[in-house]
Structure 1
Amino acid sequence: MVVHFLSSPTMSLPLDYASDSDRDRPCTLPRVACAPETALADPMLQRALLLQASATELAASVPYSHLCKPESGPALNPYASKSLSRKNLITGFAETEYMSPAHFDSLHRSFLRKRPLSPTHPSPIHNALLDTHYQKLDAAVLKTKRQKKGDPAVIDGHNAYRGPWAKYENIHPDPPLDLSDESDHQPAPPPLPAENLSLDPLVHADESTAFHGHSKTDYQGRSYIHVPQDLDVNLLKHPGQQECFIPKKHIHSWKGHDKGISVIRFFPKSGHLLLSASMDSKIMLWDVYHERNLLRSFSGHAKAVRDVAFSGNGHTFLSASYDRMVKLWDTETGTCVSRFTTGKLPYVVKFTPTSGDQNEFLVGTSDKKIVQFDVRSGNIVQEYTHHTGPVNTITFVDDDRRFVTTSDDKSLRAWEYGIPVPIKYIAEPYMHSMPSVVLHPSAKYIACQSLDNQIVVYSASDRFRQQRRKNYRGHNCAGYALQIDISSDGRYLMSGDAGGYACFWDWKTCKMYKKFKAHDSPVISMAWHPQETSKVVTAAWDGLIKYWD
């Protein structure tokens, strides 16, 4: 309805507000046209009223209920040329959209849950969970029908980790199509009996050892692990008194492992023996001087050996394996003294130098704990449980009163020995996981192999701050737990490379001095001889151990 207001040029005020002179004048009020202007045609015969969006007047009388109706009709004229310009199909315009396979599978599962029951092909999960057609499955019931996610620390077995890949117990995928010839088809092997399927994640293996040298004692009756004194170098002096140099040539190779090497360790202080652990579940002891042959092999793990650690005097050593066992070995006789386990994967083992006879050791496990064992009783003395990921390294600092740990949670924590509360916690957004840490001979710094292709340095004092000026780059270590080492005089830092290179940096200037091809596979471990000036041992995944001078 349109209302027209007609006003005269001279509009008088009401009588109450007018002056005495204006009361005698006639009062002129505005005229209101209550009847709108309508079209000549009968409006009751009209079936449609076409209006423009900018129209402000109606040419016909329209009921109020029609005026309150929502807008309808196409936004644009379907026959206009502008709308036809975007038309890529006969029926209009279609946009392409990307859908990931995971999203498609989710929608497909939702369709399977909501589809109606089929009387000819009933489904067990539908008969059990669907009450009516197109009814959504109950989330709680569906969750019970799904397999358990498992423990992230378990790789295989009954409680193995499945995570988001856990399948549904009652939904089985269609079998793959067999496109091979029927004549080549072989019958499937019979299933194994139930008693042969072990659900225990702990796999035990019998310990055995073999001596491969010429004689276990010398002409004076001393054992083969005794430090030799008939050499040009004094192996009894304190390490670090000699000036070190970068090696230049390859002088010897040790070969005895069937698979890649995991870690190598020199005999403490003297370095006349070399201990190596491999993925073939074997541990071997090599002679560094004289004939440089294999002295003794240790077999007692069912899976690959992850780490080994000598005691302070070298008479015993620890081995950690993927069979979840930590074993204590006698270096001279090769017998297994004790066995320890927490049921989880041990990633790193370290004797505690705080006790005089080293009756305790630390184990970093896959369940985010550092466990402290007593060798004499075999019991757990203490647990350090503040990490949120598997523990990779344990390094003693501050005269062995404290130790620093790194984890897959991309953090660094410092602990007081025996107190299960960290005294320092470092976790920056730019930090990466650090699978290898070594203490500088000055005991003031620790060098950490970071998985962003660099080596970072932290102070080993009370503050444990990062030394941002010390940054070593030039090698590729991302994705590999490459171990690093520092020369005994503290002048050079070395690390392996994923391409098989050996890299050497100057500790003060952080400049790379040398990089040469050492192996055909990633150099997983490097060790500097504690008493020699330029003797370095490298080990790689090709199963070779090389000696450089």
Structure 2
Amino acid sequence: MADQQLELAKRTSTKGKVPTGYADEIVISETAFRNAHRAVEANHEPPTKKRKREGKGDSSVVYGASAYKGPWARYEVERPDDSSGSEEEVEVEYEEDDIAPQPAAPSKAGTAYIESDGSRETTEFHGSQQYDYQGRTYMHVPQDLDVDLRGDLPDDYKNYAPKKLLHTWKSHTKAITQLRFFPDAGHLLLSASADSKVKIWDVYHQRELLRTYSGHTKSVSDVCFNYDGSRFMTGSFDRQMKLWDTETGQCISRFSTGATPHVVRFQPDQSTATEFLAGMSDKKIVQFDTRKPAESPVQEYDHHLGPVNTITFCDENRRFMTTSDDKSLRAWEYGIPVPIKFVAEPYMFPMVRSSSHPSGKYVAFQSSDNQIVVYASTERFRQNRKKSYRGHNNAGYAIDVAISPDGGMVMSGDSGGYVCFYDWKTCKMWHKIKASESAVVAAQWQPKETSKVVTGALDGLIKYWD
């Protein structure tokens, strides 16, 4: 019998796994447990002492150390070094803890707040030849065309609505966000896209892709040439603004305020052509000088109550007008951060795009309620109530608006894929082209041709019309 018990103990041994032995199960109520717990705690605590109050003070003294406190006197605080009483004084030795090694700060490479590497910008030339037989690059304005791209517009110059598609450029993989012709001549076309790339195209001759500018990590929100086209500025949703050399593709400098730039505009005046304005998502308009370090703007215009959508220079570039998601329009003196005019009416909607009239007297704004409204860009900055262009849809998109070089026509994109042409004087729609299956968000007139326009849509295609 004893041998059988020994064998059973060996087979059921839990040595090294669980504590051996036997414990009786005791059932105890919660009330009994709490009473027992309080009794144990009471045995460990020292006998309670009644706390003493500070002295009441002298009733004839109002201020000072011996001022009268009365029943509001504080309780005396027992100090740990107070050796009075029956308790034995114990000397305590303090040991310093070893300082644990701190982990290294995490990298900010993935936060997109700080540029981790300044050499991330790249460029690639795609053209058939970089130089012509005289050693000139694509920056040279061609003179072997039917139209004079160098001179001024003739007196009898008149624009017409285009009818047919001339060419389609396809290289961008995502939506087109902005298109810009080369200043004055218009022989080159700059395109910005949601694929974070900026590309420049040949408008004449082979109509080929010439160069790609890579450096942004998110969608490019806006592009703008300087007055002579030698440089251009890009703004992106990666919160960066970058200045590029049009010819070489080099990124010259970078600017950032930590907010997203929605619109960037170079100062058109040649005397201050190194300065540019940027309308930001944090309601500010910031002014930078490209000759100075890019740490902080040289001026801030901080009066809008929502993200800034448009910046339009007027009055011989001495003033500019801005619109915002706060449904208002403000006019400013350049360099002075106080608005000279504030327009906000209950019936107004956010104005998302703008175009200046060649006469310099008016600015057309794309309003979010499916119409184009016109404001005077002179002293009063009043809305011209007689001019309202309706017939297109723009809800949900930042649809471009452009006035023809002769000032006689207004062109607008459309969320349904159309391009609409309106007569400036009568406000009636002249013509409508089905340009895309998706929303046409970018549209620009060729500055020297009579009826040539370019459109860009959400499908990434750029189309050239005549």
SS at match of 2:351: coil
Q: Counterparts of 1:407 and 1:225 in 2: how far apart (Å)? A: 35
Higher strand proportion (structure 1 or 2): 2
Displacement of 1:199: 4.3
In the alignment, residue 313 of structure 2 is paired with which amino acid?
F
Partner of 2:152: 238
> TM-score w.r.t. structure 2 length?
0.75
Q: 1:393 aligns with which of 310, 313, 319?
A: 310
Is the Cα contact below 8 Å between 2:108 and 2:116 reproduced in 1? no
Q: State the 1:359 CA deviation.
A: 1.3
Q: Is the Cα–Cα contact under 8 Å of residues 230 and 245 in structure 2 kept in the other structure?
A: yes
The change in CA–CA distance for 1:225 and 1:427 in structure 2 (over 3 A counts) is same
Per-residue CA shift, 1:160-191, capped at 9, x if unaligned?
xxxxxxxxxxxxxxxxxxxxxxxxxxxxxxxx
1:261 maps onto 2:176 in alignment: yes
SS in 1 for 2:271: coil
Say if 2:336 is the partner of 1:419.
Answer: yes
CA shift in 2, pair 1:485/1:197, >3 Å: closer
C-alpha displacement of 1:220? 1.4
User: Displacement, 1:198?
Assistant: 3.8
Q: Alignment RMSD, CA only?
A: 1.7
Structure 1 residues 271 and 197: alpha-carbon distance in aligned structure 2, compared to 1, 3 A threshold: closer
Name the % identity: 61
C-alpha spacing 1:240/1:361, structure 2 compared with 1 (3 Å): farther
Distance in 2 separating the partners of 1:228 and 1:217: 13
The residue number in structure 1 matching 2:395 is 478
Distance 1:250 1:200 in 2: 40
Provide closer, same or farther for how the CA distance between residues 195 and 396 of structure 1 changes in structure 2, counting only shifts above 3 A.
Answer: closer
Q: Would you say how many aligned residue pairs link Structure 1 and Structure 2?
A: 358
* Partner in structure 2 of residue 535 of structure 1: 452
2:124 is equivalent to residue 210 of structure 1: yes
Alignment check: 8 A CA contact 2:108 2:114 kept: no
Give how far 1:217 is off: 1.6
Distance 1:227 1:442, change over 3 A: same
Q: 2:369 aligns with which of 431, 441, 452?
A: 452
CA distance in 1, matches of 2:254, 2:211: 20
Q: What is the match of residue 318 of structure 1?
A: 233
Cα distance, 1:223 vs structure 2: 1.8
Q: 2:163 touches 2:433 (CA, 8 Å); kept in 1?
A: no
Q: Which one of 242, 258, 262 corresponds to residue 343 of structure 1? A: 258
Letter matched to residue 281 of structure 1: S
Over 3 Å counting, the alpha-carbon distance change for 1:197 and 1:254 in structure 2 is closer
> How far off is 1:201 after superposition?
3.3
> Which digits, 9 at most, give the CA deviation of each residue in 1:461-502, with x for residues without a partner?
100000001010000001110011011001110100000001
Matched residue of 1:387: which SS? coil
Contact 1:204-1:323 at 8 Å conserved across structures = no
Check the 8 A contact 1:263/1:525 in 2, yes or no: yes
Q: Please, which of 137, 142, 148 is the counterpart of residue 223 of structure 1?
A: 137
Answer whether contact 1:239 1:530 (CA < 8 A) is retained: no
What amino acid does structure 2 have at the position aligned with 1:223? T
Equivalent residue letter for 2:359 = S
Query: Deviations 1:205-233 (Å, cap 9, x if unpaired)?
Result: 71000001122221112221110101110
Query: Per chain length, whose mean CA-contact separation is higher, i.e. which structure has more relative contact order (CA < 8 Å, sep 6+)?
Result: 2
Task: Report the CA distance between 1:237 and its aligned residue.
Answer: 1.7
Amino acid at match of 1:211: F
Q: Matched residue of 1:289: which SS?
A: coil
Cα-to-partner distance string for 1:84-103 (whole Å, 9 max, x where unaligned) = xxxxxxxxxxxxxxxxxxxx
TM-score (norm: length of structure 1): 0.64
Q: Select which of 106, 113, 126 maps to 1:201.
A: 113
- The answer to whether residue 322 in structure 2 is matched with residue 410 in structure 1 is no
Structure 1 gap ranges (5+): 1-118, 120-193
Assess if the C-alpha contact under 8 Å between 2:357 and 2:364 holds in 1. yes
Q: For residues 424 and 177 of structure 2, what CA distance do their matches in structure 1 show?
A: 26
CA shift at 1:355, angstroms? 4.7
Aligned residue in 2 for 1:186: none
Distance in 2 (CA, whole Å) between partners of 1:211 and 1:417 is: 37
Which residue of structure 2 lines up, in the alignment, with residue 494 of structure 1? 411
Return the alpha-carbon distance in structure 2 between the equivalents of residues 361 and 453 of structure 1: 30
2:423 aligned with 1:506, yes or no? yes
